[in-house]
Structure 1
C-alpha cells in the first residue's frame, strides 16, 4: 500500500462489532498493556521465526484513526514509512479494517539478549472522531536461536540480510545450550577476542555498495541515506528499502529481482576485516489465468555463488505463517521445482485471500489479493547455509466483472422490476439518476419505489429496483395508435469503500403494451342542436378536435358552450352553425350533419372519426291563403360551388329577398315569377322552380339527326302549393332528381300556433322562454293565450280542442288533469276553467286568438302532494268560419252544480291518448 509522508496513519474500516468485543480507554487513563487484554482489545501477537507479527482486529476501533509507535525503553518514535523501511517494520491492511504489522527481530528498537531473546515494545493509538485517543501498549518477547550463517528476509517495503560476524568456533560455541548455561552461571568466561571483536559497529571503516559499480560510504552517510546497519553479539544486519539508489534490478531467468550488495570493512589498529552482504528479492515472476496464480522464482539466484547449491528445504506460508503439506493440499496450493525455477501455484479465490472492487474507466472490476510466503534453505558446501524468506503480496490484474442487468418486469402488475449485480461486499448503491432527476435510496423509497439489497451466500450482493409504470419518472411514448412504450432510464451511482471511489452503470428497460384506450365521441340531437360528448380515454386531452373543417379553437369553444372535467368534454352545436354540413332538404325539415375528428398533432394520427346526421324541423315552403308563397333554398353539401345569392325563380328577375353563403329566401305572388297553375280533381296546384344558371347543352340522337335540347340548370328545386275547394291544404315541393343533388320530398305546410302565459289578465305582456320556470302561489290565476301567428285570413277560426295539465314535461305522461275537453271546460273541476272573450280592438283578427284562465294547483294523491310543478298543454284546431259541424261548432253544456260533499280531485286516471301540439314551460308552486 502507498505510504503517506510523515506519521504512518491508517483508518480502520469494517463491520460494526458489539461493545463487549473491545475495551475503550480514555486518553486520561493509564495505558493498557495489550498482552494482558488480547481478546478484549482485538490485538494479537505471534512470533514467526525471524520476525514478530502484530494483528489488529477491526473490532478495535471501527472507523477510527489508528497510529503505531515503536519503543525502546523511554525512547518512543512514531512509525513513519521511512522509519519502517529503515528499522525493519511493515504494515498492511485489508478492506475489512484488519491490520498486520511485521517487525524483524533485528529491528532498530528490539532489546536483544545474545541473539536469542528479543523484546519488542510497541504502542497502538486509536483516535476517535472527537480527537480523543485510546493507547494500547504491546509487549512481546520472542525467542529464536536457529540462526543460519546467512539469513535473507524480503518484506513488503524492505529487504534484510544478516550474516554471522564471529569466528566459526565462537559461533558454534554460542549455539551450545550447556555452554550458554555455564556462561549464565559465571562458570565460563568468553575470550577477550570475542567481546572486543573488531567487527563491531563501531569498527566499521567504510561500506562499499555495488550498484553494480562500486560506491563507498562511511557508516554515518549510509545511516543518513536510510539504510539500516546493526551489529549484534554475533551478527551483522543490513537493511535497505526497495527504492534506495544503491539497489538495482537483475533479471534471472526472465524474473526481475531487486538486489542490494554491500561489502563492509571493519578496521582496528593494523587489521582490516571484510564481510560481504547481499540481499535479492523478487519483484516479478507472476503469471495469471482466470483461475490460477503462478509465481516463478529462480532456483539459482544472485545470492548463490555456485549453480551447485543444494536446496535443503522448501516451504510455503500464508501471511507470514508457514503451512504444512496437508494444508497446502486442502487449499490446492502447489510448490514444486520445474527446470530452473521454483514454481508456486495458488488458485484464485481461495480463503486465504480476498477480493476487492475497483473502478477502471468507470467499469466495474475486481482483484484478488493474497500474500504467500516462500521459505528456502540451501547450502553451498561446508557448514555455510542460507535461510531465505520472501513475503510476497500478490494482486491479480483487474478482472472485468460487468454486472448483469436482469429484467423481471411484471406487465400484469404494471411494475418495472430489475436486478443489477453481483457486486462485492465493498460496493454500496448511493443514488439512481432517472430521466427527471437524481434520487438517493431514501428519497426513492419515500417516493414509492422499492429498492432492496439482496445478499448471497458467497458474500456478494445485488440491488433490486421496482418502479410502477405510472410514475412520472417513467417516459411514455406512443409509437402507434394503440401501442405505448414505457421506458425506464437508469444511471446507478455506486461507491467503493473504504476508498470512496465512485462509478456508475447505465441501464434502460423498455416495455411495449397495447394499452391505449382511444378517445371516443358520441352524440344526440334535439329539434335545434347537436349534443356531442367526448370521452378522453387514458391519454388525457392530448389531441386536437376538428368540427367540420375547422379546428376547435378557444374562441370557438366559447361559442359552442364547452364543458370539461378530467375524463370528458361536452359541447352544444346549433344545427345552423357554420361547422354543420347540410345533406338534404325536406319540405318541413333539413337533414344536417356534424363531423367530429379527433387527431394527434405530433404524428398526425386520427384517433376518432365521428359523424352525426339528424333531421331538424324547418319550414322550407309556406303557402298563404292570400295567394302568396315563400320558399327557402339551402346550399347542400352535394353542390359545393353553389352561391345562394345567384339563385332565381323561373323568372330570372325574381331573386331572393334574403341570401347569405348558405341560404336564399324567396317570397313571391302565386300569379308571378313564372309560377304555373294546374288543375286536378278538386285540387289546384301552383308550381315554380328555384334554379341556378344553365348547364352544358344536351345532344340527343334521333332518326332525323342530332337534336339539341335545352340544358339542365346546375341547381333546381321545384316548389309546389296545393289548394282544394273551400279548404286550405298543405303545401309541398319537389325537385327533379339529379345525381349528387338534394332530393326534396313532398311535405306539408303548417300554420304557426303558440301557447303562452300572460303576466296578468290584460294579455299585454307574456312570459318569454327564458323566464321559465314561472313561480305562482296556490290558487293564483294563470292567464293563457293561444294565438295563430302570421295569418291574415279572417275566415280562419282558432278552436281549442283540448287543454290539460301534467306533472311532467311529457304531454302523454301521468298524472293528468283535463282543463278543456272537446272545446269545453271540464265541469268536473271545482275550480272551473274560465274563457275570456277577445275584443276586436285588442287584436287584428279576434278569431285567431283564445284566452282562458285557471287557478294554480298541484297534484295530490292520498292527501300527499306529488310535486310542486305543472305543465299545461293544448291541442288547437283551425276551422273555416263557415263550417257548421264537428269541433268547429261545438256547443258546450251548462255547468252542473256539484252535490254537497262531492269533492272532485285532479288525479292520474284521465286519457293519455291526446295528441300534443302546444305546451308551456314549467310552472312552479310557490312554497310561501
Structure 2
C-alpha cells in the first residue's frame, strides 16, 4: 500500500513529516490526515450570515496485490477529495484603546485570504472603507505570513459617531458602536460583525457662573466648559425657558452665555430692607438633565436703591411695604396701618403701597425743638375680636415703622425700621464647665436638642426657648440640682452690666411680660434621676435700654446649687422655689457660704445673637 496527495505518491519520510498515517485492519485500510495540512486549503463561508470555514484535501491510495493461483500483480489507485463540514469561526475583537489618546483603536479578525471588508456601519450611517478613511476613521488590513489577516479601525473621541455620557460629574464615558460588513470572494456572500466599545476619561471642565450688579439689575455670565451647552439653567428656582430667556435678554456664543435679571423679577429674593435700599439675592444654577447633578451654582446678593417712604408738603405720606423672604407666607394685601381700616391702595405678591394723610389712619404727631414728626406703622395684626385669621398669637409679627420729619416748611424721609420677624436669635453651645451643662431643646418635650451643626438657630420675638440644666459626670443618686439665680447680660462676663433677671431666689422672675416657667422632669429613657435636671422656658424677649432695642450678643448665666438629699433640707435645698421666705438677693448672701450639704457652681450659655431688620 502507498498513499499520496493530489495523485502524487509520498514516501514514508514525507508522510512522517506531514503527520500522515496509513494502517490496515481485517476489513479496512485507514488513512489519517490532520486538518490544516499544507497539502490542503481552507475556504470561507457564511451560512446564516455567520463566518465559517472549511478545509479541503484530495488524498490518493495505491493498493498492489498478487493472486495466489495466477501469480499475477494487480494495481488499484483511489483519488478521494475530502471537505470538512463548515466550522464556525466567530471573529474576535482586540480593544487596544488608550483613553488618554482620545481615540478608539481596535482589531477584528482573524479572516482567511478570501474575506474582504466592504463597509462599516456607524451611529450616523454606513460608510465604505474609502469613505471611512476620508472621514478620518483609519481603516487598515494587516496580512500575516500564512495569508490570513485582521482589520484595524481608529476613531477619535471627538466625532459625531461617538456617544458621550457623564456618569460622574468630572468623567466622560465615550461609546463606539459599529458593525463591520464583510464579503467572501469570489461568491460575494456576506456576513457582519458588531462591536461596542466604551472608554472613560476624566476630561470634563464644568461650567462656571459669575455675576455683578448695577443700580437695577443682576448680570449673570456662564462659561460653558468642555461639555458645551449640554446643561439646563435655573434662575431663582425657575427653569430658563425660551420665554424667560427672552425676558432676561439672553445672549450666547460658542463659549459663554449671559442674562440680565431685574432685581424686581420674581426670580430674585428680597433679604433686607433699609431706609433707602433693598438687598436682593439671585440664585442661579446649571445642572445635568440626565444625572440631575448640579454642575455649578451662584448666589449673588446686592443692594439696590429703593425709597420706601415719601413725605409731601401737603401732609400726604406714601409708604411701600416689601415682603422679605423671612415671611414667606405673607400676603402683602393683608397689611394695614395702625388703623386697620387703612388698607393698601395697591398690592401684589411682593409689595403693598399705602397713601394716607398725616392726620389719618392712626398717625401720631410729636413736637421737637425745630421740627415735628409724624409716625405710623405698617403691620400684620391679629385681632380675635374682629375675626382676622391671617395670623395667630404665636406667629411672628410684621412691623414696618414709617416716619416723616417736617422742618420749617421742608420735608425729608428718615430711616424706618422693618421688623418683619423682628429677631432671629442664633444660639451657640457654650463651652461651660463639664460638671454641669446647659442645653437648648428644640421643643417642650425636651427629647431633642440643638447640636453644633444646627447653628445658627433661628428664634423669633416671643418664641419660647426651652433650657435644660443637667448635672453630669455623677452617678450619686443623692445629689439634687437647684437653680438659684439666672440672668442675661450683653457681655460674656457674668458681672457685666446691664443685666436682666430670669430666675431670682430660685423662683421665676415675673417683673416683665416674658415670665419664666419651670417644667417637671420625669423618668424616661434618657432621664434616670430627675433630681439632677432642671428645666425652664421663657419667651424670646427684646433687650431694652433707654427705650432702644439692643442688638447685641446675649449671654445667659445661672448660679447653681448642688444639694445632698440625705442631709436635712435647709434654705434653697428645700426645693426649686420652695424657700419663699428668702428676700432680697439670696445669691449674694449665700455666695461663698457653701456648707457640707451644698455645693455651688456657675454656668453660662451663649451667645444668643439678636438680629433685627433695620
Range of TM-score over shorter length: 0.5 to 0.7
- Indicate whether 1:634 and 2:322 are aligned: yes
C-alpha distance in 2 between matches for 1:629 and 1:497:
98
Counting only pairs closer than 5 Å after superposition, residues 406-445 of structure 1 correspond to structure 2 as 406-445=94-133
C-alpha distance in 2 between matches for 1:710 and 1:694:
7
C-alpha distance in 1 between matches for 2:203 and 2:100:
11
- Indicate whether 1:476 and 2:158 are aligned: no
C-alpha distance in 2 between matches for 1:390 and 1:712:
112
CA shift, 1:447, in A, is: 0.9
- Indicate whether 1:372 and 2:62 are aligned: no
Counterpart for residue 591 of structure 1: 279
Counterpart for residue 527 of structure 1: 215
CA gap of 1:586–1:339, structure 2 versus 1, over 3 A, is: farther
CA shift, 1:740, in A, is: 8.0
- Do 2:97 and 2:103's aligned partners in 1 also have CA atoms closer than 8 Å? yes
CA gap of 1:589–1:571, structure 2 versus 1, over 3 A, is: same
CA shift, 1:551, in A, is: 2.9
Instruction: Say how many residue pairs are matched.
Output: 418
Counting only pairs closer than 5 Å after superposition, residues 749-898 of structure 1 correspond to structure 2 as none
Cα distance per residue 1:789-822 (max 9 Å; x no partner):
xxxxxxxxxxxxxxxxxxxxxxxxxxxxxxxxxx
CA shift, 1:495, in A, is: 1.1
Cα distance per residue 1:232-278 (max 9 Å; x no partner):
xxxxxxxxxxxxxxxxxxxxxxxxxxxxxxxxxxxxxxxxxxxxxxx
C-alpha distance in 2 between matches for 1:329 and 1:544:
75
- Indicate whether 1:501 and 2:184 are aligned: no
Cα distance per residue 1:491-510 (max 9 Å; x no partner):
11111112222111122112
Counterpart for residue 231 of structure 2: 543
CA shift, 1:627, in A, is: 5.2
CA shift, 1:625, in A, is: 6.0
Counterpart for residue 360 of structure 2: 672
Specify the SS of the correspondent of 2:333.
Answer: helix
C-alpha distance in 1 between matches for 2:329 and 2:339:
22
Counterpart for residue 388 of structure 1: 76
* TM-score, with length taken from structure 1: 0.42
- Do 1:520 and 1:535's aligned partners in 2 also have CA atoms closer than 8 Å? yes
C-alpha distance in 1 between matches for 2:21 and 2:395:
113
Cα distance per residue 1:634-679 (max 9 Å; x no partner):
1222223333233221122333344333222233344432223456
Counterpart for residue 360 of structure 1: 47
Specify the SS of the correspondent of 1:512.
Answer: strand
- Do 1:721 and 1:733's aligned partners in 2 also have CA atoms closer than 8 Å? no
- Do 2:283 and 2:299's aligned partners in 1 also have CA atoms closer than 8 Å? yes
Counterpart for residue 399 of structure 2: 716
CA shift, 1:628, in A, is: 4.8
C-alpha distance in 1 between matches for 2:423 and 2:62:
110
C-alpha distance in 2 between matches for 1:326 and 1:373:
17
Counting only pairs closer than 5 Å after superposition, residues 196-207 of structure 1 correspond to structure 2 as none
Counterpart for residue 738 of structure 1: 421
Specify the SS of the correspondent of 1:523.
Answer: strand
From 625, 642, 648, give the equivalent of 2:336: 648
Extract unaligned runs of 5+ from structure 2. Answer: 386-391, 426-614
Counterpart for residue 345 of structure 1: 32
CA shift, 1:726, in A, is: 10
CA shift, 1:345, in A, is: 2.0
- Indicate whether 1:332 and 2:15 are aligned: no
Counterpart for residue 458 of structure 2: none
Counterpart for residue 824 of structure 1: none
Counting only pairs closer than 5 Å after superposition, residues 891-910 of structure 1 correspond to structure 2 as none
CA shift, 1:415, in A, is: 0.4
C-alpha distance in 2 between matches for 1:424 and 1:470:
34
C-alpha distance in 2 between matches for 1:740 and 1:563:
42
C-alpha distance in 2 between matches for 1:659 and 1:608:
36
C-alpha distance in 1 between matches for 2:267 and 2:423:
21
CA shift, 1:517, in A, is: 3.3
Specify the SS of the correspondent of 1:649.
Answer: coil
CA gap of 1:520–1:554, structure 2 versus 1, over 3 A, is: same
Specify the SS of the correspondent of 1:555.
Answer: helix
CA gap of 1:417–1:739, structure 2 versus 1, over 3 A, is: farther
CA gap of 1:535–1:617, structure 2 versus 1, over 3 A, is: same
- Do 1:693 and 1:713's aligned partners in 2 also have CA atoms closer than 8 Å? no
- Per mean C-alpha deviation after superposition, the further-off stretch among 473-482 and 488-497 is 473-482
C-alpha distance in 2 between matches for 1:448 and 1:695:
79
CA gap of 1:566–1:537, structure 2 versus 1, over 3 A, is: same
- Do 1:694 and 1:713's aligned partners in 2 also have CA atoms closer than 8 Å? no
Specify the SS of the correspondent of 1:645.
Answer: helix
C-alpha distance in 1 between matches for 2:417 and 2:423:
15
CA gap of 1:342–1:526, structure 2 versus 1, over 3 A, is: same
CA gap of 1:548–1:394, structure 2 versus 1, over 3 A, is: same
Specify the SS of the correspondent of 1:330.
Answer: helix
Cα distance per residue 1:361-413 (max 9 Å; x no partner):
32222222221111010122122332110111122233322222000112112
- Do 1:403 and 1:420's aligned partners in 2 also have CA atoms closer than 8 Å? yes
Counterpart for residue 404 of structure 1: 92
- Indicate whether 1:515 and 2:203 are aligned: yes
Specify the SS of the correspondent of 1:412.
Answer: helix
Counting only pairs closer than 5 Å after superposition, residues 5-84 of structure 1 correspond to structure 2 as none
C-alpha distance in 1 between matches for 2:257 and 2:374:
50
CA shift, 1:575, in A, is: 1.2
Counting only pairs closer than 5 Å after superposition, residues 910-921 of structure 1 correspond to structure 2 as none
Counterpart for residue 826 of structure 1: none
CA gap of 1:711–1:637, structure 2 versus 1, over 3 A, is: closer
Specify the SS of the correspondent of 1:442.
Answer: helix
Counting only pairs closer than 5 Å after superposition, residues 220-239 of structure 1 correspond to structure 2 as none
C-alpha distance in 2 between matches for 1:338 and 1:682:
142
C-alpha distance in 2 between matches for 1:318 and 1:713:
107
Specify the SS of the correspondent of 1:402.
Answer: coil
CA shift, 1:623, in A, is: 4.3
From 122, 129, 134, give the equivalent of 1:446: 134
CA shift, 1:684, in A, is: 5.3
- Do 2:42 and 2:55's aligned partners in 1 also have CA atoms closer than 8 Å? yes
Specify the SS of the correspondent of 2:342.
Answer: coil
C-alpha distance in 2 between matches for 1:451 and 1:360:
26
- Do 1:631 and 1:719's aligned partners in 2 also have CA atoms closer than 8 Å? yes
Counting only pairs closer than 5 Å after superposition, residues 276-295 of structure 1 correspond to structure 2 as none
If asked which structure has higher relative contact order (CA below 8 Å, sep 6+), I would say 2
C-alpha distance in 1 between matches for 2:228 and 2:188:
46
CA shift, 1:437, in A, is: 1.3
- Do 2:3 and 2:10's aligned partners in 1 also have CA atoms closer than 8 Å? yes
- Do 2:397 and 2:420's aligned partners in 1 also have CA atoms closer than 8 Å? no
CA shift, 1:616, in A, is: 0.4
CA gap of 1:441–1:741, structure 2 versus 1, over 3 A, is: same
From 690, 693, 696, give the equivalent of 2:381: 693
* TM-score, with length taken from structure 2: 0.62
Counterpart for residue 8 of structure 2: 321
Specify the SS of the correspondent of 1:348.
Answer: coil
- Do 1:694 and 1:712's aligned partners in 2 also have CA atoms closer than 8 Å? no
CA RMSD between the two structures: 3.0
- Do 2:400 and 2:420's aligned partners in 1 also have CA atoms closer than 8 Å? no
- Do 2:221 and 2:256's aligned partners in 1 also have CA atoms closer than 8 Å? yes
